[in-house]
Amino acid sequence: MLLFDGFFILELFLRFSNDDAKRQYDPIFTTSWMISTLQRDLALLENQIPIFVLTELYKNIVRHTATAQPRLEELALRFFRPELNTNEGVGAGIRCRNLCHLLDLLHRSYLPSSLRVEFLSGGAGPWKLISCATELCAAGIKFQKDTTKHQLDLSFENGVFKIPPLQIHDSTDSLFRNLIAFEQSMPDCGQYMTSYALFMDRLVDTSSDVELLAKKRIIQNDLGGYEDVTDLFNNICKQVVVREFYFTQLCEQVDAYYNKSWHGYKASLKQDYFKNPWTIISFIAAILLLSLTTLQTMYSVFSYYHN
């Protein structure tokens, strides 16, 4: 079974990466939904086969091939790329000899190189609660789409929350659940995706939070309505045990900024009086009118006492 499944996976990867190898009447490539289904099924934790099986089989294929072939890791990531929120070149340093299976490869492709050594400067810590996106926005925190190529590169500085874009589609829920299940079953691999899912669950409390993040182009919703994305994040970590939360330091920075009332007053002032040119003009006119009235009153009082 391992031999049969292994050769099927390798032939699938090779044909997917080479348009000339896609046969005209091959049902796998001519059926519109087949590739996305295979991408989802091959990422299921229960469908994994040991990576050394694929490695040994691929060595035999390369040995009997005249032309140079890409590494197995490159073929696999190229096949799964449409389902991942990663850019080209991510995972280039990953080697099969350090992996358990294909899901392990997908898991490591989400992690920046710095994360593999130590996640952020503070490492893992206790689970920290923060407010949802709309409440943070009301307190003066700005959300900005980040340009980093790594999904977990979140940052907060001077009231600006930078978050890499996340594309939500039909396979996102399945992929994230299997990555989280993999972390739950392998204590030594860390809980990076679990931490990310929990963090997004805190940011997304209602459909209004999804709408806010979508307007900032942080969430790219290909799933359906805002409620569908809300349900995804609110349910994805139920009954999940959190041993290591890797965004503790980031949450503490956000929470410290959020609890300073001055930032909320400033945000409220901007929202109420500076949201468009007309309100700005009205606010300036009101200030001028108040200043002139004050000056007139003072002049009248000075004139009275002078006389």
Give the per-residue pLDDT at 89: 57
CA distance 129 to 108: 26
Give the per-residue pLDDT at 120: 47
Same domain, 78 and 156: no
Same domain, 290 and 230: no
Give the per-residue pLDDT at 53: 94
Same domain, 82 and 167: no
Q: Do the Cβ atoms of 110 and 128 come closer than 8 Å?
A: no
End-to-end CA distance of the chain: 109
Long-range contact set of residues 87-90: C-beta below 8 Å, sequence gap at least 24:
87/149, 89/149, 90/149, 90/150
Residue 271 located in a structural domain: no
Residue 270 located in a structural domain: no
3-state class of 237 per DSSP? coil
3-state class of 168 per DSSP? strand
CA distance 226 to 211: 7
Same domain, 250 and 287: no
Residue 268 located in a structural domain: no
Same domain, 155 and 176: yes
CA angle 108, 248, 117 (to 5 degrees): 35
Other beta carbons within 10 Å of 36 = 14
pLDDT averaged per 10 residues in sequence order, the chain, 307 residues: 93 86 76 90 94 93 80 90 69 72 91 55 67 89 84 88 90 93 86 91 92 92 88 90 86 86 49 57 70 76 67
Number of domains in the chain: 3
Say which residues have a Cβ less than 8 Å from residue 78's Cβ, sequence separation at least 6: 13, 16, 17, 70
Same domain, 121 and 249: yes
Same domain, 125 and 193: yes
Give the per-residue pLDDT at 68: 79
For residue 251, what are the domain limits? 115-263
Give the per-residue pLDDT at 86: 64
Give the per-residue pLDDT at 259: 84
Comparing CA positions, the residue from 72, 83, 92 lying closest to residue 39 is 83
Burial call 233-268: b when 16+ CB within 10 Å, e when fewer: beebbeebeeebbbbbbbbebbeebbeeeebbeebe
**How is 181-221 classified by DSSP, letter by letter?**
HHHHH-GGG--HHHHHHHHHHHH-SSHHHHHHHHHTTSEEE
Q: Which pTM does this prediction carry?
A: 0.80
Same domain, 54 and 78: yes
Residue 269 located in a structural domain: no
Say which residues have a Cβ less than 8 Å from residue 228's Cβ, sequence separation at least 6: none
CA distance 90 to 191: 19
